[in-house]
Structures are given as structure tokens and as C-alpha cells.
Amino acid sequence: MLAWLHRIFALSILSSTPLLIHYVAEWNRLHEYFFSFVSSDLTLYKYDYIIVGGGSAGSVLASRLTENPQINILLIEAGGHPHFLTGIPAFTPYLQLSPYDWSFETEKQDEACKGMIGNRCKWPRGKMLGGTAGMNYMLYVRGNKRDFDEWEEMGFEGWGYEKVLPYFKKSELQLGRYAHDTKHHGTEGNVPVSDSIYITPMAKVYKELAQLAGLPIRDYNAENQTGFDIPQLTMRNGWRGDPYRSYIEPIMNKRPNLKILTYSHVTKLLFDDNKKIVTGVELLRFGKTYNVSASKEIILSAGAIGSPTILMHSGVGHAQHLKDLNIPLVKDLPVGDNLQDHITTMLGPLLVNQSASFDVIETMSFSTMWDYFVHGKGPLSTTVAVDFNGFLVDENVQLHFIGVPLYADYGLHSRKTFNIDSTLWDDYFSKLYGLSSISVLPALLRPKSRGTIRLSSSDPLASPLINPNYLSHPQDIQDLIKIIDWVLNVLFDQKKASHHGLKLPQNGSKIPQCAKENNYWECFVRHFSLTMYHPAGTCPMGSVLDSQLRVHGLPNLRVIDASSMPLIVRGNPNAAIIMMAEKISDHIKESFELELLSKSSLGKEEL
């Protein structure tokens, strides 16, 4: 009886968590509205640099550039300050569809997302200082060294692995098992990188199965990425360690040359009369429009969706697309093309013994709360998403081993966050309530399908049209089916799986929509298509930017975020985005200091 009362109590807390997060976010916004004012000084003052977007890249840039007290920075963010609840890893799923999320969704997909309402997949993006890193699952993955060598081979000088490794190390504060490896890791940086504190008993099973399959257990952020390991997370003492918390909070109110403007939506860029120089930005804050100027540069760090959207609203994009929306053309560039994302599917659920599973309900017990808030440990210190992580580089696949069932909350929130159609949920997942299970997410690291970002209207507040064109290239579905076959028949072959209590559900083991299909797994993937939350490439080096991430034809406008990547990295992109911002920060500071030195020398000569 007591156990059931506990479960009812815990379930009530879980079900109310999204509402709680919504209220604290709205309270922050109202507090900012009533007690924070944009003075005339802010709009009249001319900054050296304006950074649009307070996510990973924006936070790094603002922190590094203001290390020089002569550089004045305005950091503009559409969202607000994150509440401390956003720093609790176990609350990560509940940040989706909250005020901290832009709550985007894709256009109707022809080849994928067929099990989602309207064939549309949800695309969560962070709307707060910290950006998507403030709501992601915190995996610290640099990508493969080949990624950066390939960038350099494409003609982007300075982006090879040996050139970018120092910036990975500069940003990293390695607190885990690999701190001794100073060749590959940094121990004095800003971003805390820790080993996953809490893992389920299944992590040992995954490790054993990987070794039986001949795969090494190794640090995938070192020399060789192929292998498996427990996750490395951007976390410290059980709390989220995103770039806002690690770069901006320590200097908040300590640098008079850094101003931060929240709840401010940049609507467009401002240009000089010749449309050759960007002079500032127009922004909307609580219903009022402001213009803010910069004397040096404007830097867009609004992400793979936000940055191309701002460019297009400003007249930088495909000429015909802008003409159709009556937006005056400034520069004809293929902005919004080349959209890439790591598509995945949820292989499973694979039933396991209850003793080996993760019980979401237990995260809400009094003992686990005490363990977390006093010691920074226990179930609340995990994102409940990834128990184990693996890379098969030759196959361009990343495997996430998920220790909690999708249906663990009985569909109260998970069903909405994935936009799962009621028929699929009721006919399949609801029948598994109460059963312990795990899942495997195989993600394509280098998908061949390419999508687009386009404007839906000339209204800068309207959501853009997001079309990833998932599985439009036939190779992508073939690669996913191939890796599913490998997981089921090699990694989890029947003998190994049964030894560890792993098995597919015997009754209703197939989703009804695909049960009669000859190629069940192809049908399954097309129905249960998922984003890995990694959009990239929409303002890439090459077609839109030069190797210093400056927009072609607009020398004082840069784009620094995932959209700048010509090819998506093989892994979670956050670490690479931080590296890119560190690298360009150095370049900007050097240019600024050289200009000051030149002016100083010129002044002395005139005397």
C-alpha cells in the first residue's frame, strides 16, 4: 500500500513538472518586463560588437571578447535567464514545449515522421541564455578528427584537426577519468566535462556486449572515435554546465564592457546606404522596437534555424525567395540550404529484468531528492536518456543506449514532445505500460539527405519553414536498416540477449502500421523517425561564409554557430560549436588589437 502511495505521489510530481517549469519561466519574463527597462543609453550607445544569440557560441564570444576591457559588447537573447530548475539533468525532457523552447516543428515529411501527427517531427531549440545547450542531454562529443581535416581539405584553412584541438582543450575543464590525458583534454577551461554520475545496471551489460562484439571501450574524444564508453557530460557536481553557466555567470556584473539584453527578438540587420556594411540590428522587446548600432561587427549566433532566418529577413538569401515575400534584396546567397541533421529511430523497446531498469518514478522519492540536492548524486543527476554511448565510424553511426522507457511517464509528456500520433501510441506503446525496457537509438552521423530553412512570411515573428527532407536520399534508409540488423543480430544476438534478460516484446512486438509490411524495419524507421536535435549547415563556410565565418560581400557580418558547418560533425555538435567560437574569438581579438596598435602608431607619426 505504501509503495503505491509513493508511486501516486511521484507520478503527480512528474505530471506537474512541465507546469512548474512553465510558471517559473513566465515569472522570470514578467519580472523582467516590470523591473528591467531599456534605457535610452542602451539604444543610443554604439557598441564595438553586437552578438545575436546567447547560446553556446554567443556565450563563449561574449566572455572571451570582453576579456579585453576596451571591447564593448552587447549580447542579445530572445529568451530570458534560465531558472535553476533547468540545471537539474533529470528535468531535461520537461524543458521541451516549455517557454524555454522555441517549439519548432518540421514541414510535413514525405519519407519520414509518418507516425507523428501530420507527418511532422518536433524540433526543440533552446530559447534562453545558454540556448539549446541549456536544454540538451549534455553529451560532450567533439566529433571525429576526420571531420575537421575534411573541412580543411574543402579549402577552409585553419580548420584541420591539429589546428582546432588547442581550442577544444582551451574550452574544456575535464573532471573525469580522462583528465590525465593532457594531449587530448584540457583541465583549465570553462566547460565542465564529467563522467556520467548515475547509470543503470544495464551499462555493465552494454559494455560486456560491446566487448564480445570485438569493440573497444575507449575515450571517444581522443585519438580514435570508434568504440563505446559511458557518457561524458557537460556537468559539474550533478548540475548542468552549459556555456552560459560556465562562461557568462562567473563574469556577470563584473565586466562593465558587457551588456546583456534578454527577451529581445532581433527582427533584421541594419545596413549603410550602399548596403555594403552592417551598421546594427533592429530588435523587438516587449512590443517596442529599438535600433542598436555597432562600430565593428555584428555576429549572428542564433543557431542553425535562427541565423539563416535573420539573414533572410534582412535581405540576405535566395533572390527569388526574398522577392516572393517582398523583402528587398541585399545579397543573393544560398542561405538556408544544406540543412543537415542526425536522424535516428528508437530501436525497441527491448524488455529487461526489472532490477536492471531505470524507474522514473523513483527519481521523485524523498531519498533521491536528498541525495541530489545535498550531494549532487543519484537519479536526478542523470538526463535519464543515455546510459552508454558508442561510435561505429566506418558506418557513420552513433549508438545511444537509453535506460528509460519512452512510455515511463504513461505518455503524460513524452507523447507530446515527440508529437506521436494517438493511433501509434494507443496501439503500441500504451500496451507496454509497467514493463521495464531499454531502447537503442542509432543515429546517422553523415546523412546524405539535405533540407532547407525558408521564411513562411515577411513577418519576423513567424516560425520559419523547416524541411529536413529526412530519408529523401535512399542511402540513409539503407544505412539505418543495416545498423538495426547489426544491433539485433550481432550486438544483441539471441544467445547474448537472453543471457542478460533482453528480449523484444512477444505480444504486439510490431507497430500495427507496419506489421504486414515485407520490410518491417524500413516501415518502422519511416514511421518512428526522430531528430537527434542537431541541425547544422544552413549558413556554411563556402557558399555563404569564408573561412573566418564572414558573410560573403558583407565583411563586418559573421555567423558563428552550427549553421556555419559545411559538413555536420560526427557526434553531438555542442563541443564543436564551443571550439569554433573560441577560435574565432581569438581571431577577432587579435584583429581588434592590431587595429588599435596601428592607430596608435599612426598617431605617434603625426606628432
For residues 589 and 62, give the distance between their C-alpha atoms in angstroms, rounded to a whole number. 11
3-class DSSP state for residue 504?
A: coil
CB atoms < 10 A from the CB of 247, how many? 25
For residues 581 and 586, give the distance between their C-alpha atoms in angstroms, rounded to a whole number. 9
| Backbone region of residue 504 per phi and psi (left: phi > 0; alpha: psi in -120 to 50; beta: other values) | beta
For residues 564 and 549, give the distance between their C-alpha atoms in angstroms, rounded to a whole number. 7
The C-alpha cell that represents 130 in the structure block: 545558454
Among the listed residues 474, 533, 206, 125, the one whose alpha carbon sits nearest the alpha carbon of residue 344: 533
* Catalytic residue (one of 473, 534, 552, 587): 534
The C-alpha cell that represents 438 in the structure block: 531499454
For residues 133 and 391, give the distance between their C-alpha atoms in angstroms, rounded to a whole number. 22
Indicate the helix (H) or strand (E) that contains 558: strand 554-559
Strand order from edge to edge, sheet including 172-174: 172-174, 191-195, 232-233
Residue type, position 103, single letter: S
Residue type, position 578, single letter: I
Q: Is 266 annotated as a binding residue?
A: yes
Indicate the helix (H) or strand (E) that contains 447: none
Contact in structure between 55 and 243 (CB atoms under 8 Å): yes
CB atoms < 10 A from the CB of 376, how many? 15
For residues 561 and 521, give the distance between their C-alpha atoms in angstroms, rounded to a whole number. 35
3-class DSSP state for residue 401?
A: strand
Q: Is 132 annotated as a binding residue?
A: yes
The C-alpha cell that represents 546 in the structure block: 569564408
For residues 322 and 308, give the distance between their C-alpha atoms in angstroms, rounded to a whole number. 12
Among the listed residues 329, 283, 340, the one whose alpha carbon sits nearest the alpha carbon of residue 532: 340
- Cα–Cα–Cα angle for 478, 481, 485, nearest 5°? 135
Q: Is 534 one of the annotated active-site residues of the chain?
A: yes
Indicate the helix (H) or strand (E) that contains 438: strand 437-444
Residue type, position 341, single letter: D
Contact in structure between 168 and 148 (CB atoms under 8 Å): no
- CA atoms within 13 Å, Cβ hemisphere of 16: 8
| C-alpha of 167 from chain center | 19
Residues acting as catalytic residues: 534
Q: Which amino acids are annotated as binding site for FAD, given as ranges?
A: 132, 266
